[in-house]
Amino acid sequence: MNLTPYEPWQLLTRLQRDFDRGFAWLPTVDVSEDDTRYLVRADLPGVEQKDIEITADKGVLTLRGVRQFEHRGEARFLRRFSLPENAVADEIRARHVNGVLEVSIPKQPKVAPKRITVEAA
């Protein structure tokens, strides 16, 4: 008689691994901010520039694309971010260098409140 070890999580682990390989992929993303812009950096190793789509619509920045695997087919990714009110969507710029996507989102310049003098009647 042969004894077979019982591993209750084996099926779940296998399903997760198969899902990660064939259907979806969630790239790592860092978001930072300075005085003039927001910067979104996504690690996209193995993703070609032609396979990346970036849109900004109704206050939402969307990064989507496809990563091609030599033996396993492809994995799609989708990340969405809410844009702050002071973001200038028409001036968003993106560049893809060495597997890193950088999306620069300019901020509207701060407008100082106008001081109004009170005149005597």
pLDDT of residue 21: 59
CATH number for position 34: 2.60.40.790
Q: Does residue 77 lie within any of the structural domains? A: yes
Q: How far apart are CA 110 and CA 22, in angstroms?
A: 46
pLDDT tens digits, 14-73: 777 766 655 678 899 999 999 999 999 999 998 999 999 999 999 999 999 999 877 777
Split at pLDDT 50, 70, 90, the class of 10 is: confident
Q: Does residue 116 lie within any of the structural domains? A: no
Q: Does residue 55 lie within any of the structural domains? A: yes
pLDDT tens digits, 76-89: 999 999 999 999 99
Q: Does residue 6 lie within any of the structural domains? A: no
Q: Report in angstroms the alpha-carbon separations of 8 from 14, 17, 18, 55, 108.
A: 11, 16, 17, 43, 54
pLDDT of residue 14: 75
pLDDT of residue 61: 97
Q: Does residue 15 lie within any of the structural domains? A: no
Q: Does residue 18 lie within any of the structural domains? A: no
Split at pLDDT 50, 70, 90, the class of 3 is: low
Q: Does residue 19 lie within any of the structural domains? A: no
Number of compact structural domains in the chain? 1
**Domain encompassing residue 89:** 28-106
In contact, 59 and 82? CB cutoff 8 Å: yes
Q: Does residue 101 lie within any of the structural domains? A: yes
